[in-house]
Amino acid sequence: MSLAILLSRSLAGFDAPLVRVETHLGVGLPAFHVVGLADAEVRESRERVRAAILSSGFAFPSGRLTVNLSPADLPKESGRFDLPIALGVLLVSGQIAAAKPEMLSTLVLAGELSLTGALVPTRGAVALGLSVARNQRGATLVLPWSNAVEASRIPALTVLGAKDLKEVVEYLNGRSELQTPIYVAASVNVPPEPCLSDVRGQLMARRALEVAASGGHSMLMTGTPGVGKSMLAKRIAGLLPAMSDTQALELAAITTYAGLDVGISLKRPMRCPHHSASAAAVIGGGARPMPGEVSLAHHGVLFLDELPEYDRKVREALREPLENGYVCIARAKGTCQFPAKFQLIATMNPCPCGWQGHPKRRCQCSEAQVLSYQARVSGPLLDRIDLYVLLNQETTHWHEQQASETSASVALRVRMAWDLQRARQGRLNADLPDSLLDQHCHLQKDAKYLLGTLMERHGLSARSIQRVRRVARTCADLEGCETLSRAHLSEAYRYRPTQAVQ
Ligand SMILES: [Zn+2]
């Protein structure tokens, strides 16, 4: 065989497009070329492949070797092509004689080689595995052992793990079998969620948090320092129903890509990046694009404490994932995409010093300062937030207030509301497109009248009306009502932006 073709996959963001690794051995002076827009790492792979072949006890052919990674216009970083390149070299030099062509065509191979011939894990094994499972039914994925362990949690995918090059050669020659690892979830110590009963008072904000959790709505809480905004926000994760297995797998693909294996947990993630975090850290990026906090919060909550303090680039870049559920990162070599479907929960002070509206403290800010501070949260980002809540200082003392409902009992209502929405429309109310609102938000007679009044007297825009209807739909779902009443609409209307944020 003077030509060998093996299959592998590249990793462009979250996509793992198919790459054909073609190896040709011709006559001529000894040479070893890798072509096909290979970057520095792939060129280095020549040296690793040569050393690994010799260390594993095989001979390196002395003819003219050309390796083509096709298609040529795909970015192919990382050493994951070492394994298919080394096997290609051994195939064309007749050192894997027994391998059957039909077997080779169903294998997808990826793994970096060390100079000793051992297979070294690369990042993104779960994303790679998901792509094979989606696009190449019946294919078998061969990976370094620890990568194979990560990918083995994907149902309907055959994964084989190998420790070194020699094991894969023995397998292709039919002399031994490769093992399928069994994924055992690492024991993760999940700390218990803080309970809602720790928060006394703030009834309207508690209710708004329940509505946000029930419909997947994004929410912004405004109030003076110490009023309980962050305390409430941090309790939303304890109200949300668990993820499905598929969602957990998608999240695992992102976390392993970012090099954070959090084991298997169906608990929804809650990410709280600090306001000094860069746009690349929050949205994703870097020379070799990595997922950011918005992607690590996929299927969960992104909590931004003190929203106006975040970099302008961060605030502006949030619009895309809030609208589409993914982020696109553009690079000279092409764009790549990461999923980022999260629920935004944010807080802000009413003014730069924080004390505007406080009954006892005096605000030191000028009107211009307050306006410019509030203007930082405006425009496109405001349009994507469904619920606004103004938290006031409680007038009664903490110890005089009654103990409030626990997270567990609120979570039961949230769960029921989620079940209703999924059965009716297959998604949460926050994700209902305008085109489906008429179908799923039937208004009772007096509710229709109220909506008309709101539009005429208060001049609500069409976009605002749609948002009020979505939130009202969630209020109705919390009560198990099919149609929207006047009370549901007026509650939703209360969650509109106040003077503090417009
Ligand atoms: Zn102030």
Kindly give the distance from the C-alpha atom of residue 442 to the centroid of ligand 1, in angstroms, as a whole number: 43
- At residue 258, the pLDDT reads 86
Rounded distance between C-alpha atoms, residue 253 and residue 179, angstroms: 22
**CA–CA gap between residue 83 and residue 112 (Å, rounded):** 6
In the chain, CATH 3.30.230.10 sits at: 3-172
CATH number of 3-172: 3.30.230.10
Structure tokens at 312: 């302008």
CA–centroid distance, residue 374 to ligand 1 (Å): 11
Centre of ligand 1 from the C-alpha of residue 319, in Å: 28
Confidence (pTM):
0.88
Query: Six-digit token pair at 194?
Result: 């803080």
What are the E-state strand segments in 27-153? 31-35, 64-70, 107-109, 112-113, 119-120, 140-144
* Cβ neighbours for 11, distance < 8 A, ≥ 6 positions apart: 77, 78, 80, 123, 124, 127, 128, 257
Q: Cα of 420 to ligand 1 centre, how many Å?
A: 43
Residues of the chain with CATH 3.40.50.300: 193-393
Extract the residue ranges of the chain whose pLDDT is less than 70. 1, 37-39, 78, 185-190, 261-264, 333, 395-403, 498-502
Please tell us whether the domain made up of 193-393 is placed in CATH 3.40.50.10490: no
Interior angle at CA 112, CA 107 and CA 117, nearest 5: 95
pLDDT at residue number 472: 96
Task: Please tell me the distance between residue 365's alpha carbon and the centre of ligand 1 in angstroms.
Answer: 4
CA dihedral over 493, 496, 499, 502, signed as positive or negative:
negative
The pLDDT score that the predictor gives to residue 378 is 74
pLDDT of 396 reads 60
Output the pLDDT for position 500: 39
Instruction: Give which of 473, 378, 376 is closest to 430, Cα–Cα.
Output: 473
C-alpha 317 – ligand 1 centre gap (Å): 27
CA of 355 from ligand 1 middle (Å) equals 5
Residue 31 tokens read as 């040479």
Distance 19 CA to ligand 1 centre (A): 58
CATH number of 429-502, picked from 1.20.1260.10, 1.10.1370.30, 1.10.8.60, 2.40.37.10? 1.10.8.60
Q: What does the pLDDT look like over 164-187, one tens digit per residue?
A: 999 999 999 988 999 988 877 665
Strand (E) positions, 193-298?
A: 219-223, 270-271, 284-285, 290-291
Per-residue pLDDT at 502: 41
Cβ-based burial of 474 (10 A; exposed 0-12, middle 13-18, buried ≥19): buried
Question: Any idea what DSSP says for residue 141?
Answer: E
**Residue 169 dihedral angles phi and psi, to the nearest 5°:** -65, -45
Please, where in the chain does CATH 1.10.8.60 lie? 429-502
In angstroms, rounded to a whole number, what is the distance separating the alpha carbons of residues 128 and 271? 24
Report pLDDT for 397: 63
Helix (H, G, I), strand (E, B) or coil at 11: coil
199 CA distance to ligand 1 centroid (A)? 25
Angstrom distance (rounded) from CA 66 to CA 51: 17
Residue 262: the pLDDT is 63
